[in-house]
Structure formats: structure tokens, C-alpha cells
């Protein structure tokens, strides 16, 4: 079973994280971390409340609790996905600040040369945002802006969410049947 860290931060688009969680849950060990602002966005956009628990190969960690196994480089994960990734979190990771668990695990993921996928959502992007994204790209992370395509007959918001989640699943090597490969 593959092992992933799924981090949810305070940007719009927490529906991507919820869908990714639902798709990964049956076949992966999941470690979920939600930032304080991410908690607010989950409530605001989806009416969801975060509860902390461990069981059934899912653990929800407190972002304030950095003294935990997943904060160590010896805890091997297949990928960390930050979706949605706020510009605040991106800036702090790009600066090497690893104060919260999300920032620390991202820092460790980069230093251990593991896969770090960032799904930012902000518009427009400032020079600072762009520089931070470039820094993280150059440090080895993969930047996948939350920008679904409209060319495969998408009819609903769910289809647009699935487009992004399918691309993330492809990147982390998880089989998906949400969206077939593009055919002309
Ligand atoms: C309703 C709401 C929507 C927001 N949407 C975004 C967004 O789409 N992208 C972004 O980068 N920041 C957004 N922010 C700002 C971040 O939440 C803020 O910078 C926060 O400090 C990020 O904290 P975190 O990265 O620890 O979650 C939003 C804030 C609020 C209250």
C-alpha cells in the first residue's frame, strides 16, 4: 500500500482535497494535515469540520504538533500533496520555515528528494508568488496549479474537480478512472 501525506491549507478549492482523499482512501495509507485557515475553508466551502483520529489506515494530524513520526526523514512516504496550497504556505516552504507540521513535512520531503506536489490557487499572481513557485520548482517540487481543462466534455463542477484530481493521481502513480487520457 502506498503512503501519502495530504495537506490542506487556507486557499479556495478544498473540494479538490476532499475528492482526492475519497479516491485515495480505499487503496493508500493517508496522513492528513489541515492548517488553521484550511480548517476554516473546509467549513466555509464544504460545511466540514476537522476531527483528529487514527485508524483504518487514515491519520489526521494536528498541524501544531510537529513532534510526530511523519515530521522525520526516516518516515518514508511516496509523496506529499498540498492541495489547495495557499501562497502563505508556499512562501513559508520556499523560505525554509518549518514551524508547523505541514511546513516541516514539506521541508523533509524536499530534503529527502521525495515527491512534493503543490496545487496552488490564487489569481493574479504577484512577483513574490511567482518567485516562490520557481524556487520550489527548482528545489524539486511539482507545481500543478488548480486549473482544470474544459476540453473533455466537462459538464459540471464535479467534472472539473475530477479533472484536477485525475492529474494528481496520475502524478503519484495511482490508478484512476476519473478522466481518461486525452484523445483527439
Ligand atoms: C475565504 C478565504 C479565501 C482565501 N483564498 C485564498 C486563495 O485562494 N489562495 C491563497 O493563496 N490564499 C487565500 N486566502 C488567504 C490565506 O488563507 C491566508 O494567507 C492564510 O494565512 C494561509 O494560511 P495557511 O497557509 O497556513 O493555510 C484566503 C483566505 C480566506 C479567509
Residue from 86, 98, 120, 125 whose mutation best tests the ligand 1 pocket (most atoms within 8 A of CB): 86
Contact 95, 28 (CB under 8 A): no
Dist CA 125 CA 105 (whole Å): 25
Instruction: Pick 2-171's CATH classification: 3.40.50.10490, 3.30.530.20, 3.40.50.1950, 3.40.50.1110.
Output: 3.40.50.1950
pLDDT in tens, the chain (184 residues): 999 999 999 999 999 999 999 999 999 999 999 999 999 999 999 999 999 999 989 999 999 999 999 999 999 999 999 999 999 999 999 999 999 999 999 999 999 999 999 999 999 999 999 999 999 999 999 999 999 999 988 899 999 999 999 999 999 999 999 988 888 7
Contact 5, 73 (CB under 8 A): no
Q: How close is the Cα of 51 to the center of ligand 1, in Å? A: 21
Can you read off the three cell numbers belonging to residue 129?
A: 508568488
Ligand 1 contact, 86 CB (< 6 A): yes
Dist CA 159 CA 156 (whole Å): 5
Domain ranges of the chain: 2-171
This prediction has a pTM of: 0.98
Amino acid at each position: 500500500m502506498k503512503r501519502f501525506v495530504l495537506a490542506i491549507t487556507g486557499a479556495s478549492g478544498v473540494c479538490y482535497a476532499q475528492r482526492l482523499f475519497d479516491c485515495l482512501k480505499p487503496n493508500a495509507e493517508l496522513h492528513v494535515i489541515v492548517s488553521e485557515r484550511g480548517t476554516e475553508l473546509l467549513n466555509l466551502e464544504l460545511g466540514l469540520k476537522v476531527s483528529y483520529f487514527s485508524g483504518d489506515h487514515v491519520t489526521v494530524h494536528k498541524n501544531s504538533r510537529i513532534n510526530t513520526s511523519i515530521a522525520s526523514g526516516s518516515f518514508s512516504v511516496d509523496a506529499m500533496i498540498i492541495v489547495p496550497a495557499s501562497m502563505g504556505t508556499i512562501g513559508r516552504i520556499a523560505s525554509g520555515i518549518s514551524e508547523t507540521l505541514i511546513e516541516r513535512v514539506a521541508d523533509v520531503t524536499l530534503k529527502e528528494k521525495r515527491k512534493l506536489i503543490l496545487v496552488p490557487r490564487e489569481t493574479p499572481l504577484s512577483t513574490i508568488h511567482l518567485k516562490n513557485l520557481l524556487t520550489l520548482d527548482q528545489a524539486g517540487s511539482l507545481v500543478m496549479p488548480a486549473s482544470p481543462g474544459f476540453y473533455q466534455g466537462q459538464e459540471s463542477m464535479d467534472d472539473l474537480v475530477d479533472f484536477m484530481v485525475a492529474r494528481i493521481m496520475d502524478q503519484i502513480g495511482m490508478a484512476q478512472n476519473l478522466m481518461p487520457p486525452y484523445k483527439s
